[in-house]
Amino acid sequence: MQVDVAHNDLMIPMIALARRFIDMKEYDKSLEISSAIAKVNPKVLDAYYIEMLVHIFRAREALRNRRIQLAQLMLHPNPAVKKNIQKHMMVISEYRMILENGELEEHDEDLVLQVSDVTVEVGGPRIC
């Protein structure tokens, strides 16, 4: 028996909690929640947005520099920075595959805008 969980019933509170953990710089907890969201429903784009934010913020913290650029980070000598940028790019690839399949669920527009703004700020493509 498969349980179909509606986006509004479970996903919105989980997404809000993951975003709160990002605000608190509790990135591992935020990733755990986004992973749980993806397991429940892999079509929920918010899980990908959360992961994108976490990896960019981790890279920023590793550098202690708010003015990073993706092109520079991909070649950065710090392995923690490179790892987070590589993970960020992998999440973007997964996200784009879901967009191409057209299998979308509702998503949090504020989260989409935040991810898009942060990605553009570091020299990446606009997400939305």
Number of domains in the chain: 1
- pLDDT the model gives residue 65: 59
57 found inside a domain? yes
Q: Give the predicted TM-score (pTM) of the model.
A: 0.55
Is it the case that residue 125 has pLDDT exceeding 50?
yes
- pLDDT the model gives residue 29: 94
23 found inside a domain? yes
Question: By C-alpha distance, which of 6, 35, 36, 31 is closest to 19?
Answer: 31
65 found inside a domain? yes
Report pLDDT digits (tens) over 26-84.
999 999 999 888 888 888 888 888 888 888 888 777 766 556 566 666 777 778 777 87
- pLDDT the model gives residue 28: 92
105 found inside a domain? yes
127 found inside a domain? no
Provide the domain limits for residue 77: 7-121
